[in-house]
Amino acid sequence: MSEWIEACAADDIDAEDVMRFDHGGRTFAIYRSPDDKYYATDGLCTHEKIHLADGLVMDNIIECPKHNGRFDYRTGAAKGAPVCVDLKTYPVKVEGGKVMIDIG
């Protein structure tokens, strides 16, 4: 079931960057890619529950700040050791300058 919520303003995030968003006891990471598209994933690394929003975004990859696990944030795909479990992703849309994500 869809449950669209407002995560942040579109210009809260720089291009090729990430921001943490907490809602209802859950934590998410919202990304803006170099080509200005927005994406959302679970906020914690699947390896040791580290907040990914403290990590570095390069192109379409987010790197965990602790153990350098890498994910393609567009698909959630884990890109090799030490991470082997993919990140969950969420649908995103931008409406009226707001980034909305579907956490349903």
Partner 1 sequence: MVIIGAGMAGARAVVNLRASGWQGAITLIGEETLLPYDRPPLSKSMITDEAEPAPVWLLQDSVVASLDARVITGNRAVAIDRLVKAVELEDGERISYDKLLLATGAAPRRLTVTGGELVYTLRNYGDGDHLRNRLRASASAAIIGGGFIGLEVAASARKLGCRVALIEAQPRILMRGVPEDVASVIHARHAEAGVSLHVGTGLSAVETGGVVLADGRKIEAEIVIAGIGAAPEVALATQAGLDIDNGIACDATLRTSDPDIYAAGDCCSFPHDLFGGKRIRLESWRNASDQANVATENMLGGTKTYTAVPWFWSDQYDLSLQIAGLPGDAVSTVRRTVSDSAVLIFHLDGSGRLVAASGVGQGNAVARDIKLSEMLIGKRAAPDAASLADPGVSLKKLLQAASA
Enumerate binding residues for partner 1 (CB under 8 A).
16, 50-51, 54-56, 63, 65-68, 81-82
Nearer to partner 1, 57 or 92 (CB): 57
Nearer to partner 1, 54 or 95 (CB): 54
Nearer to partner 1, 5 or 65 (CB): 65
Nearer to partner 1, 48 or 95 (CB): 48
Whole-angstrom CA distances from 11 to 22, 38, 47, 50, 103 are 18, 11, 30, 25, 21
Whole-angstrom CA distances from 25 to 21, 22, 28 are 10, 7, 10
Separation CA 100–CA 62 (nearest Å):
20
Q: Go through the chain and tell me how many residues it has.
A: 104
- Residue 16 Cβ vs partner 1, minimum distance, rounded to whole Å: 7
Question: Distance of alpha carbon 39 from its chain centroid, rounded?
Answer: 6
- Residue 95 Cβ vs partner 1, minimum distance, rounded to whole Å: 28
- Residue 68 Cβ vs partner 1, minimum distance, rounded to whole Å: 7
